[in-house]
Structure 1
Amino acid sequence: MGHGHGHGGADADRRRLTIALLVTLATAVLGAVGALLTGSLALLADLGHLLTDAGALAAAVLAAALATRPSTMRRTYGFGRAEVLVAGANALTLVAVVVWVAIEGVSRLFDPVEIPGLPLLVIGALGLAGNVVSLVVLSGGDRRNMNMRGAMLHVLGDALGSVGVLAAAVVLLTTGWPYADTIASLLIVALILPRAVSLLREVVHVLLEGAPRDVDPAEVQAALLELADVDEVHDLHVWVINDRTPAMSAHLVVHEESEMHCGDASVLDRAGHLLRERFGLAHTTLQVEHVAHVAHEDHCG
């Protein structure tokens, strides 16, 4: 956590995203041809995922590049939130596509469409091969990076879509059952929607300055109160810039007789060491003050 991630990891993630984008674009062209030739809803659903994935991956590449840019006086945190915003946009577009496929699928249950099985089988197999390549490339990236997880979720949705297309093709070829394609598309919806909603909830949590998943603010407060000379902890805030950069701020009220000097023995340095070692909070802002000066800022001289 903290500042453990350098630009090397971000550059590697960007390369992975770029490769996955190129593979996805090639697969989308194939899916578009297949959907036109067969009229398959499962292929159309898969194509919808592919097109949103292409946009999502392109945005993810851009966000990964922006995240490495240094901070400025106007943007003191840099562009770290760009990855969070793109992850949210990805989740929203995926939810929209899934809802559209669900509505179309339900309508086809009452009015089934005849779909040829063999072209469906071939196109589904080729699409799945492209999805697997993209998943393998992306799986080597940073699993804690929300931007990467959002991109992987899109590609995983495509892979599941291709599996559904293959299953529908096999059923059509062996039984001729007209609802196979529609049922496959609805199963894809059921698998993808919860994951997309989960990612969207995580994005909202970050944008609302929620605490990191693995840091309990109550535990942070209790640990700070265990420090010698600390009487009270107030105005405690723990949040994340993005899912790789947690931050924390608090006011520490110390005994009146305590020396608030700088150095290894100071309350400030002991608190900073505690936060880094126990909670992985490297980006911290702490104000140390006496009880009589709680409303004032007391500088360490």
Structure 2
Amino acid sequence: MEHDHAHHVGDYNRAFALGVTLNLGFVIVEFFFGLLSDSLALLADAGHNLSDVAGLLLAWGASYLAKAPATANRTYGWRKVPVMASLLSSLMLLVATGALGWEAFQRLFAPQSVTSLTVIVVAGVGVLVNTVTALLFVSGQHHDLNLRAAFLHMAADAGISLAVVLGGLLMLWQELPWVDPVLCLLVASFIIFSSWSLLKDSLDYALDAVPRNIDVQGIRQYLANLEQVDRLHDLHVWPLSTSEVALTVHLVVHQQSLDNGLLHQIQQHLHDHFEIDHATIQLESSLEESNCLLAPTTCH
């Protein structure tokens, strides 16, 4: 059963455009004031926000490629491009964050004074920008890996900027120059922790692992319990894209059950109850199962 999912990303073109514009503008402001105030925390957050801009651009561009039609040698089209974009974005983020974390660690032993009021004001703007951007993707995070990544990153950034504000208030109250590198290390640790989940999911999608929201055991039980089905074999479930899941299975059925009505019933149930978008089902008569090259008795 095929379903057109292009509208999912199409609805978010404006969200991507606004998110990129807001964050790119904020990166410039944050980087400028980070240099002006010599705040490593602001520079770290600016670098992170820049990687988010790159991630948004990657996801946005990949969404267009994903809608390209299938070709003779790419029969699924470019649906996997957003997965690769998400993987690349998470790797870039981890590398950049690791470099900034190392710089913060070195500054622990040579702390420098920071203009705390500047940190507070700029980071406060960051809370607003990141919260607004996160809200742009909040409704789409449940059905698309890229949108979930965008939402989680923006929500994390809002929390990180809030932490910078609190750290700035602390430095304003007490002259503690070591607070800035410590805060940067905390920010880096949080980003790495949140990015690891994105990296893992991206790798899983790239390697065609079953998406975590799909209940394979439940699918197997449903198919096995169908009255017309004697047994099943070669059940495979994998992510076709960041928002579509495919399934193939061989069902050994009674001779009288070899009709399209059963196929439609199963495909509709898999779509409605198990979030399977593309189900390819091969029906085999129990009398002819031995003719299937993939049947357990003939394929080892």
CA contact (8 A) 1:3 1:245 kept: no
CA contact (8 A) 1:66 1:79 kept: yes
Provide the residue aligned with 2:282 in structure 1.
287
- Measured in 2, the distance between the counterparts of 1:279 and 1:140 equals 20
- 1:225-278 CA deviation, whole Å, 9 max, x = no partner? 2223433211110111123211111122235xx2364342xx544543443344
Q: CA RMSD in A?
A: 2.4
How far 1:5 moved relative to its partner? 5.5
- 1:140-183 CA deviation, whole Å, 9 max, x = no partner? 43432111122223323432332233222212211111111112
CA contact (8 A) 1:20 1:138 kept: no
- Measured in 1, the distance between the counterparts of 2:272 and 2:19 equals 37
Match of 2:259 among 225, 243, 262: 262
The structure-2 alpha-carbon separation of the partners of 1:95 and 1:231, relative to structure 1 and needing over 3 Å to count, comes to: same
- Measured in 1, the distance between the counterparts of 2:146 and 2:23 equals 17
CA contact (8 A) 1:233 1:251 kept: yes
Provide the residue aligned with 1:117 in structure 2.
116
Segment drifting more, 230-239 vs 68-77: 68-77
Provide the residue aligned with 1:19 in structure 2.
18
Segment drifting more, 139-148 vs 111-120: 139-148
CA contact (8 A) 1:253 1:294 kept: no
- Measured in 2, the distance between the counterparts of 1:7 and 1:270 equals 25
How far 1:114 moved relative to its partner? 1.5
1:190 matched to 2:177: no
- 1:13-64 CA deviation, whole Å, 9 max, x = no partner? 1210110000011101101211221211101101111211121111111122
Provide the residue aligned with 1:247 in structure 2.
246
- Measured in 2, the distance between the counterparts of 1:108 and 1:90 equals 27
1:172 matched to 2:167: no
Q: Which runs of 5+ in 2 are unaligned?
A: 296-300
- Measured in 2, the distance between the counterparts of 1:296 and 1:112 equals 66
Q: Could you tell me the TM-score, scaled by structure 1's length?
A: 0.87
CA contact (8 A) 2:236 2:248 kept: yes
- 1:52-91 CA deviation, whole Å, 9 max, x = no partner? 1121111111122223333333322222212111111121
- Measured in 1, the distance between the counterparts of 2:209 and 2:240 equals 10
Segment drifting more, 2-11 vs 20-29: 2-11
- Measured in 2, the distance between the counterparts of 1:59 and 1:296 equals 39
- Measured in 2, the distance between the counterparts of 1:236 and 1:178 equals 59
Q: Could you tell me the TM-score, scaled by structure 2's length?
A: 0.87
- Read off the aligned partner of 2:196 and give its amino acid letter: V
- Measured in 2, the distance between the counterparts of 1:154 and 1:211 equals 23
Provide the residue aligned with 1:55 in structure 2.
54
- Read off the aligned partner of 1:128 and give its amino acid letter: V
Provide the residue aligned with 2:207 in structure 1.
208
The structure-2 alpha-carbon separation of the partners of 1:252 and 1:115, relative to structure 1 and needing over 3 Å to count, comes to: same
How far 1:4 moved relative to its partner? 5.3
CA contact (8 A) 1:5 1:244 kept: no
Segment drifting more, 29-38 vs 146-155: 146-155
- Measured in 2, the distance between the counterparts of 1:147 and 1:56 equals 9
Provide the residue aligned with 1:10 in structure 2.
9
Query: The residue matched to 2:108 in structure 1 has which SS?
Result: helix
The structure-2 alpha-carbon separation of the partners of 1:229 and 1:135, relative to structure 1 and needing over 3 Å to count, comes to: closer
